[in-house]
């Protein structure tokens, strides 16, 4: 009987007598219930994974994005208005000269820092509101540094310009640079291009340093070359560090080298000798008590002697040599060197005289310029 039962169990798969059919029928409902509970738990997990997130943060992000979009349309105009206001109310004197010189030199560090930080942000932060805010803040910081430099220097360059053709080109570039750093969309577009960003920073820094150094007592010619070499060295250096010192920025090096190269080529005359300016300038028949007499634009034939009179405003502590260059019908004579000392509000008064050949008729001119060739002014009279 026992063997038959074993054979029947093998054939039918029923449990052995010790674990009869009744016990098996009681266990099946429990297993079925456990299976149903497991399936329900699994469905709850799946539904929890696919359930939508909280709606409040999404709504807040949507409202914030809309607000930023509206601000983005208004912000450039507000920034432009604020920039123009600061340009007009800015205090420009010799006390602020060291600050501007330091800011102009640090513009390269700011440009490098902006590039490195933005690169780190792009690597470690996904696209979104906070990344946009970070980019905007760093761009605005660098933009404000350049604004401070160009707004401080611009009026001095216009005050010292003789508006010769080369100087007009330089002033046009300086005005265009001021436009770039004043209009946010244009500034961001330039900052996104490495070479354009480097050249903008170089030109603005050169202009600021060449104007500020004389306020610190450095001669005009030395200031011009010092500013050019600072730009020629720091611009490619900042770009080289920006590239993780893996590549040599040959294009940036070549572009930066143009600043001292142009000076060696005699193009210093294109740069107005800021912060110097002329408060009085003319040609007359004599000088008495340091005042010009007989100033006119036409003189009679037979006039044998004329005086060129100039009052040059220069910063306190600056001692500079200038030249009066006389020309008869466009033919220049040897320059007459005059020394000017700064600090007088009305300008340091200097003059030179020129003997006129007998029976001379035509144009006679006197040009005031620095020893480096930067032109402060020119007067032309007719003798007939």
| Shared-domain flag, residues 254 and 287 | no
**What CATH number should be reported for the domain holding residue 347?**
2.60.40.1930
| Shared-domain flag, residues 225 and 184 | yes
Task: Match 């294109």 to its residue by tokens.
Answer: 270
pLDDT for the residue 143: 83
Taking 3-state DSSP, the helix, strand and coil percentages for the chain, each rounded to the nearest 5, stand at 60, 20, 20
Question: How many whole angstroms separate alpha carbon 201 and alpha carbon 210?
Answer: 14
| Shared-domain flag, residues 333 and 241 | no
pLDDT for the residue 176: 95
| Shared-domain flag, residues 320 and 261 | no
272 Rama class: left (phi>0) / alpha (psi -120 to 50) / beta? beta
CA angle 273, 379, 323 (to 5 degrees): 50
The domain boundary, picked from 230, 255, 270, lies at: 270
Residue 2 lies in a domain: no
The domain boundary, picked from 270, 295, 329, lies at: 270
Residue 49 lies in a domain: no
Range of the domain at 333: 277-383
pLDDT for the residue 207: 93
Q: Are 217 and 318 in contact (CB under 8 A)?
A: yes
Task: Please write the tens of the pLDDT for every residue from 346-376.
Answer: 899 999 999 999 889 999 999 999 998 999 9
Pairing of strands 291-293, 298-299: unpaired
The domain boundary, picked from 270, 301, 321, lies at: 270
Task: Please write the tens of the pLDDT for every residue from 165-198.
Answer: 999 999 999 999 999 988 888 888 898 888 898 8
Question: How many whole angstroms separate alpha carbon 369 and alpha carbon 352?
Answer: 13
């Amino acid at each position: 009987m026992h063997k038959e039962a074993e054979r029947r169990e093998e054939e039918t798969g029923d449990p052995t007598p010790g674990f009869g059919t009744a016990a098996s029928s009681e266990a099946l409902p429990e297993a079925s219930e456990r299976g149903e509970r497991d399936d329900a738990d699994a469905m709850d997990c799946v539904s929890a994974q696919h359930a939508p997130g909280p709606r409040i943060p999404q709504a807040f992000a949507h409202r914030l994005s809309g607000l930023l979009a509206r601000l983005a349309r208004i912000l450039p105009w507000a920034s432009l208005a604020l920039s123009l206001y600061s340009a007009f109310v800015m205090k420009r004197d010799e006390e602020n000269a060291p600050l501007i010189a330091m800011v102009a030199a640090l513009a390269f560090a700011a440009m490098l820092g902006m590039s490195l930080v933005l690169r780190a942000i792009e690597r470690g932060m996904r696209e979104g509101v906070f990344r946009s805010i970070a980019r905007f803040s760093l761009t605005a910081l660098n933009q404000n540094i350049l604004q401070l430099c160009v707004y401080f220097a611009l009026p001095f360059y216009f005050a010292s310009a003789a508006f010769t053709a080369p100087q007009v080109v330089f002033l046009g570039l300086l005005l265009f640079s001021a436009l770039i750093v004043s209009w946010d969309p244009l500034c961001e577009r330039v900052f996104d291009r490495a070479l354009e960003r480097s050249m903008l920073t170089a030109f603005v820094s050169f202009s600021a340093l060449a104007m500020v150094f004389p306020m610190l007592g450095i001669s005009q010619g030395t200031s011009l070359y010092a500013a050019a070499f600072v730009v020629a060295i720091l611009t490619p250096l900042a770009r080289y560090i920006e590239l993780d010192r893996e590549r040599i920025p040959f294009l940036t090096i070549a572009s930066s080298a143009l600043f001292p190269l142009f000076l060696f080529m005699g193009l210093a005359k294109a740069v107005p000798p800021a912060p110097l300016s002329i408060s009085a300038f003319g040609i007359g028949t004599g000088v008495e008590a340091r005042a010009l007499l007989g100033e006119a634009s036409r003189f009679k034939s037979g006039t044998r002697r004329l005086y060129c009179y100039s009052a040059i405003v220069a910063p306190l502590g600056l001692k500079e040599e200038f030249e009066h260059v006389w020309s008869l019908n466009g033919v220049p004579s040897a320059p007459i060197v005059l020394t000017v000392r700064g600090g007088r509000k009305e300008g340091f008064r200097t003059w030179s005289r020129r003997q006129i050949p007998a029976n001379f008729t035509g144009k006679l001119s006197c040009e005031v310029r620095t020893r480096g060739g930067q032109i402060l002014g020119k007067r032309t009279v007719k003798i007939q």
